[in-house]
Amino acid sequence: MTQFQAPAQKKLKNISLYINGKFVDAEGKETFENLSPFTNEKINVVASGDSSDIDKAVAAAKKAFQGEWGQLKLDERLNYVYKIGDLIEAHSEEIAMLESYDTGLPISQTRKMIARSAKNFRFYADMVKSHLYGEAYQVDDEFINYSVRKPVGVAGLITPWNAPFMLETWKIAPALATGNTVVLKPAEWSPLSANRIAEVIDKAGLPDGVFNVVHGYGETAGAALVKHPDVPLISFTGETTTGSEIMKNGADALKRFSMELGGKSPIIIFDDADMERALDACTWGVFSFNGERCTANSRVYLHEDIADKFIEQLKQRVDNIRVGDPMEPNTQVGPLVHRDHYDNVKGYIELAEKEGCEVYSGHVPEAFNKGNYVAPTLLLNADNRMRVVQEEIFGPVIAVMTFKDEDEVIELANDVRYGLAGYVWTKDIKRGHRVAQAIDAGMLWVNSQNVRDLRTPFGGSKHSGIGREGGFYAFEFYTETQIIHVSVKDHHIPQFGK
């Protein structure tokens, strides 16, 4: 028992919806249970909203947008955004514990995510202050044309369970900073920190209706938000198939979409790479966040000259990774978020064996057999034609393959429907750039693991997404550009019928 287990033993209060500045039950009084990934026992009960709750939340958000929030001075609005960041920081340890308790993500990792969440608010408040501007064009001596950026209205935000608090704040911060109001539909399996963000925003004193949370199922609450005529934009992070369903459902209303979807990202390790650093990056990149990471390097391509040695070292890492209690500071891999997801990941490991892989797994201590633990796993002798190489497993599982030369590995790396991220390891600087640019993916790292710079575009190509988040790219999504053409001279006007 460590000090970090304390919140796990407390009974957490049940979770309500947050609509128009008040914590309320779902109108239909429906609820669902929230389960611990560590024991599979009930943590608490969550209000399950549906279309009538979405209607109320959207009406409140629309009223706030047209009223008090829309009329605030920029500094007043941004002060609220900074304040949310400050409050998250002030409660960061407690939020990190809630997040680990709810999702099974190790506390050492959720602490970093919560620190990043506070940064999201400060970063976007700073960005709006200094970089949200229009353009101006002088046209001879006849016109001055200029653009202004306006908030769009009620932003519908739909988020997954894998890094819930960080991903929610990554959307809420730019939406609010640019002047929109928000209805958030968080994932069913990770409601605790979404409830906490509502409490934080409530404490920050934002006007009623500016921020709303409707918990509930994707097919009911989520779908109602997507179809709602007063919600002009939907920012979605989740599975590719869900993204495509959402786009169909929003098509009639011509919604604006940002789609951050699944991945099956390659890490390519050439024979001249710094092996120790590549090994660190490769293991961290797939086993951190319990492997439930959209940008995970879930396919490794090893140059054939270094493959045997690298695989031996990978096996040692897998043997030594500390699988344990997510509340324990030394734990590196915790339980998966939900039993259904555990079954899914285990199913893929069984499939790998049927498809011809040699499966090499680490160890889950007996004491944790009530939890959704999957040991870190290598799928050796994998092949691009296998489903376990083509499909996103979203757990601590990496497919291991070899290659002979650069052309071959580029072809193999690109031979999946996803295009979120990729990683290239080589000491040859020209080859590093060349291969990175040849990979069909939104984000590449050369000689590095996934290190984020909030100013740079985040997002995927192919089936991994549409649009980008981060830096200026968020402005493209969360604001409407309007162009004003002003005649400053009596320019020529055609005289029809004169």
Give yes or no for a contact between 435 and 449, defined as CB atoms under 8 angstroms apart. Answer: no
From CA 156, how far away is CA 132, in angstroms rounded?
A: 21
Q: Which is nearer to ligand NAD, 149 or 215 (CB)?
A: 215
Shortest spacing between CB 135 and ligand NAD, in angstroms: 29
Q: How many residues does the chain have?
A: 498
From the list 4-12, 234-242, 250-258, 299-307, the region that binds ligand NAD by CB under 6 A is: 234-242
How many CB atoms lie under 10 A from the CB of residue 413? 26
Nearest to 445 by CA among 408, 420, 418, 474: 420
Using CB under 6 A as the binding rule, the residues of this chain from 190 to 219 that contact ligand NAD are 218-219
Q: Which is nearer to ligand NAD, 106 or 395 (CB)?
A: 395
Rule CB under 6 A: say whether 15 interacts with ligand NAD: no
Q: Which is nearer to ligand NAD, 63 or 293 (CB)?
A: 293
Using CB under 6 A as the binding rule, the residues of this chain from 289 to 308 that contact ligand NAD are 294
From the list 49-57, 180-188, 199-207, 484-492, the region that binds ligand NAD by CB under 6 A is: 180-188
Q: Which is nearer to ligand NAD, 128 or 443 (CB)?
A: 443
Using CB under 6 A as the binding rule, the residues of this chain from 450 to 479 that contact ligand NAD are 460, 464-465
Rule CB under 6 A: say whether 242 interacts with ligand NAD: yes
Rule CB under 6 A: say whether 223 interacts with ligand NAD: yes
User: Pick from 95, 182, 420, 439: which binds ligand NAD (CB under 6 A)?
Assistant: 420
User: Pick from 37, 151, 222, 432: which binds ligand NAD (CB under 6 A)?
Assistant: 222
Beta bridge partners of 139: 143
Query: DSSP 3-state assignment of 46?
Result: strand
Question: Tell me, what amino acid is at 443?
Answer: M
- Per the structure block, which two tokens stand in for 109? 């990792």
Catalytic residue ranges: 260
Shortest spacing between CB 70 and ligand NAD, in angstroms: 27
User: Pick from 187, 282, 416, 435: which binds ligand NAD (CB under 6 A)?
Assistant: 187
User: Pick from 192, 213, 226, 279: which binds ligand NAD (CB under 6 A)?
Assistant: 226
From CA 468, how far away is CA 236, in angstroms rounded?
A: 11
Using CB under 6 A as the binding rule, the residues of this chain from 143 to 172 that contact ligand NAD are 158-162, 167
Using CB under 6 A as the binding rule, the residues of this chain from 357 to 396 that contact ligand NAD are 392, 394
Q: Where are the beta strands (DSSP E) in 112-232?
A: 136-139, 143-151, 154-158, 181-185, 211-213
Q: Work out whether the CA dihedral 394, 47, 5, 201 comes out positive or negative.
A: positive
In the numeric block, the tokens 């070292």 are attached to 313
Rule CB under 6 A: say whether 401 interacts with ligand NAD: no
Rule CB under 6 A: say whether 266 interacts with ligand NAD: no
Total residues at interface with ligand NAD (CB under 6 A): 32
- Per the structure block, which two tokens stand in for 455? 């100013």
Shortest spacing between CB 311 and ligand NAD, in angstroms: 26
Residue 323 has, within 13 A of its CA and on its CB side, a CA count of 27
* Helix-helix angle 275-287:307-320, to 10 degrees: 50
Beta bridge partners of 194: none
- Report how far apart, in Å, the C-alpha atoms of 345 and of each of 38, 162, 177, 374 are: 16, 14, 38, 8
From CA 52, how far away is CA 27, in angstroms rounded?
A: 7
Using CB under 6 A as the binding rule, the residues of this chain from 93 to 122 that contact ligand NAD are none
Rule CB under 6 A: say whether 49 interacts with ligand NAD: no
Give yes or no for a contact between 270 and 428, defined as CB atoms under 8 angstroms apart. Answer: yes
Shortest spacing between CB 81 and ligand NAD, in angstroms: 22
From the list 61-69, 221-229, 378-386, 478-486, the region that binds ligand NAD by CB under 6 A is: 221-229
- Alpha helices (H) along 26-71: 51-66, 68-71
> Which residues of this protein are in contact with ligand NAD, per CB under 6 A?
158-162, 167, 185-188, 218-219, 222-223, 226, 237-239, 242, 245-246, 260-263, 294, 392, 394, 420, 460, 464-465
